[in-house]
Amino acid sequence: MIQNDARLIRRFVEHWERQIPLYVEKHGHNMTARNILSPRGVGEDVAVDVVTKYEKTGEGASVTAKGAVPKLLDMEATPVYHTVWQIAAAIRLHQKDLKADPLSKSRLLDVALRDIHKMEDNITINGLEKLGITGIVGAARKNSNGKITTSKNHGAWSGEAGTDLYADINDGLALLGDDVDQTDMVLLGKKNDLLHLNNLDSERRPYYEKVSGLFNKKNPNDKSWIWISSQVPAGYVYLVPKDFTVAEFVVAENPHIISYDMQPGQNYYFEVVGWVTPEIHQNVGIVEIATG
């Protein structure tokens, strides 16, 4: 019986491992963390990712006369440590379930993968204070250049006298660090907040047509810069550049299956496990805009 069970377990694991790439192919375009941040892979054995931060020291380059000694230029390197975290979900099958067609249990895998990627998005956007993870929201609220608050914006985005979504976003861009690469950038928010971009301005044109130019889109109807996520706090949107000097989503291991021997109750457990971490490198690279 044990040998038969082991064979049946392998059948489930092999089937599910084949299903994971199909799930990613179907739903990968909706994975916020893996799409809006710059991705980077590291080795499976990496438990702590070390990023070296360089800062110039000394006076640096200068204009000098012939024969004069130039000013000294040096670099100071500071290591920054980011723990790579396990994100996992468990699947339980009774011994009798092993005789079923693995395809009939694929929904369990779909739910597990959905929960894992939802958690990836959650910690990337909102962080996780108890683990020392700073997310997009936390970084934006620590941006030393400031943020667009309800007292600074041009009216509530839901519509009132003087509302100007274009001006709010343009003012937000001014709060990005000077060295931030704005070539590829999204405006991240909840659906209800971002749908206001469809509102008409004083010229009876939808705001997104004008705003698209701020995101380097040649076609005014290109909405690829609008990124909707239910994980974002209501009443705020965020300018998030896809710049590796600002933030990265680091992957040591993508979700995969681990199986266990029989547990009490004649149950078999399978874990869907991935190892990842979001890394925020500079707070001035993300800006919060209040829409209320």
- Residue 245 CA neighbour count, 13 Å, CB half: 12
Whole-number Å distance between alpha carbons of 92 and 54: 48
Whole-number Å distance between alpha carbons of 269 and 95: 10
Which tokens is 286 given?
């993300």
**140: which strand partners?**
none
Q: Average of pLDDT values for 109-128? A: 97
Which tokens is 292 given?
């209320």
Q: Per residue in 151-169, pLDDT tens? A: 999 999 998 667 899 999 9
**Residue 143: partners with Cβ closer than 8 Å, 6 or more residues away:** 175, 283, 284, 286, 287, 288
Q: Per residue in 47-85, pLDDT tens? A: 999 998 877 677 778 788 888 888 887 778 889 999 999
Q: Per residue in 222-231, pLDDT tens? A: 999 999 999 9
- Nearest CA to 176 out of 166, 165, 167, 185 is that of 185
Counting DSSP H helices and E strands in the chain, the numbers are 7, 10
Q: Are 9 and 95 in contact (CB under 8 A)?
A: no
CB-count exposure of residue 35 (10 Å: 0-12, 13-18, 19+): middle
CATH architecture type of domain 2-51+72-290: Alpha-Beta Complex (3.90)
The pLDDT confidence band at residue 291, using thresholds 50, 70 and 90, is: very high
Average pLDDT across the chain, whole number: 94
The pLDDT confidence band at residue 2, using thresholds 50, 70 and 90, is: low
